Amino acid sequence: MEELEATLQELDDLQRSVCELTSDNEKLTDERTLLLESLCAQTKKLEHARLQVERSVSLNEYFTQDCA
| 41 HSE (CA, 13 A, CB side) | 6
Q: What is the predicted pLDDT for the residue at 65? A: 84
Residue 66 has pLDDT above 70, yes or no: no
Q: What is the predicted pLDDT for the residue at 4? A: 93
Residue 68 has pLDDT above 70, yes or no: no
Helix (H) or strand (E) holding 68: none
Encode 3-53 in three state secondary structure: HHHHHHHHHHHHHHHHHHHHHHHHHHHHHHHHHHHHHHHHHHHHHHHHHHH
pTM: 0.69
Q: Please write the tens of the pLDDT for every residue from 26-61.
A: 999 999 999 999 999 999 999 999 999 999 999 999
